[in-house]
Amino acid sequence: MSVEAAEMDQEGYDRLQRALKAASGLDLTAYKKKQVFRRLAGFMSRYGFANLTVLAEAVRRDPSVRQQLTDFLAINVSEFFRNPERFDHLKAAVLPELRRTWSSLRIWSAGCSVGAEAYSLAILLEEMEPGSYHRHAVLGTDIDREALREAEAAVFGADRLREVSPGRLQRFFAALPGQRWQVKPSIRRYVRFMVHNLLEDPYPSGQHLILCRNVVIYFNEAAKEKIFAQLAASLVPGGYLLVGSTEAIFYPARFGLAAAAPFLYRRVEG
């Protein structure tokens, strides 16, 4: 379906809007309409939906379509400790294991948007080893300069902090007027941000842990393969790659990776 055709189909659009709002709480009216139509048209042609009504029906019935469409539409969506169970696993198992092998850890949040993921990782490092910013480093990269400017300012509203416990909020954030919080320097000093296009730029090497989540969902299969291969090559043997919940890697051995936990892969030795 073309962008123009989608724009003409007001009835189908209303249906989709209602279905999304009811099913996942996503309010399309909060987004720039032109962009939404562009994305909807892209989503429908990529996944083979004939029109907006068919898509609305799929959204109502199929949670995975719902999730996929939500992620597809909300390009900069991010929050601290998104999918908290993954961060729990990083804290309990992955980081301590890496730390036993390496004295100094390099962690990369690829496609970091406004930096919530990178700062979440820095919080885990600080909790594991207070004051170890001179030892461990988190790199946050994104193609979107505007998002990186926000990341550097490190000021966040309540919508991005839903998964931050009261204890963490108090310890690692300074309250600002207007229900906003700024990440404290004790955490910010772990993190460095840089513009980086995953499709074009050379990848940093020697990474111990890479998070690349809710990014490749925007790409076609060929681009995805290329990105996974390069991410795997950026890891040290024994290093880990965590991807998003709709981005599982099939046959990870192709990239020299082995599944270690849900959506988590370990680069095999050698």
Ligand X SMILES: C[S@@+](CC[C@H](N)C(=O)[O-])C[C@H]1O[C@@H](n2cnc3c(N)ncnc32)[C@H](O)[C@@H]1O
By the criterion CB under 6 A, which residues form the site for ligand X?
75-78, 82, 111-113, 117, 142-144, 147, 196-199, 213-215, 218, 244
Cβ atoms of residues 137 and 192 within 8 Å: yes
For residue 73, how many other CB atoms are within 10 A of its CB? 17
| Angle at alpha carbon of residue 196, lines to 192 and 201, rounded to 5° | 135
Nearer to ligand X, 9 or 142 (CB): 142
SS3 sequence of 10-76:
HHHHHHHHHHHHHHHCCCHHHCCHHHHHHHHHHHHHHHCCCCHHHHHHHHHHCHHHHHHHHHHHCCC
| Rounded least distance, CB 2 to ligand X, Å | 23
**Residue number, nearest CB to ligand X:** 78
Would you state the structure tokens that stand for residue 205, as one six-digit string? Answer: 């090497």
| Rounded least distance, CB 140 to ligand X, Å | 9
Determine the angle formed by the axes of helices 10-24 and 52-61, rounding to 10 degrees. Answer: 20
| Rounded least distance, CB 218 to ligand X, Å | 6
| Rounded least distance, CB 93 to ligand X, Å | 20
Nearer to ligand X, 143 or 229 (CB): 143
Q: Which residues contact 176 (CB under 8 A, 6 or more apart)?
A: 155, 182
Nearer to ligand X, 5 or 143 (CB): 143
Nearer to ligand X, 31 or 218 (CB): 218
| Rounded least distance, CB 166 to ligand X, Å | 22
Give the DSSP H/E element, type plus range, for residue 161. Answer: none
Give the DSSP H/E element, type plus range, for residue 101. Answer: helix 95-101
| Rounded least distance, CB 144 to ligand X, Å | 4
| Rounded least distance, CB 119 to ligand X, Å | 11
Which among 93, 87, 153 has a CA at the least distance from the CA of 124? 87
Nearer to ligand X, 56 or 212 (CB): 212
Nearer to ligand X, 160 or 266 (CB): 160
Nearer to ligand X, 9 or 228 (CB): 228
What span, in angstroms and rounded, lies between the C-alpha atoms of 176 and 181? Answer: 5
What span, in angstroms and rounded, lies between the C-alpha atoms of 230 and 237? Answer: 14
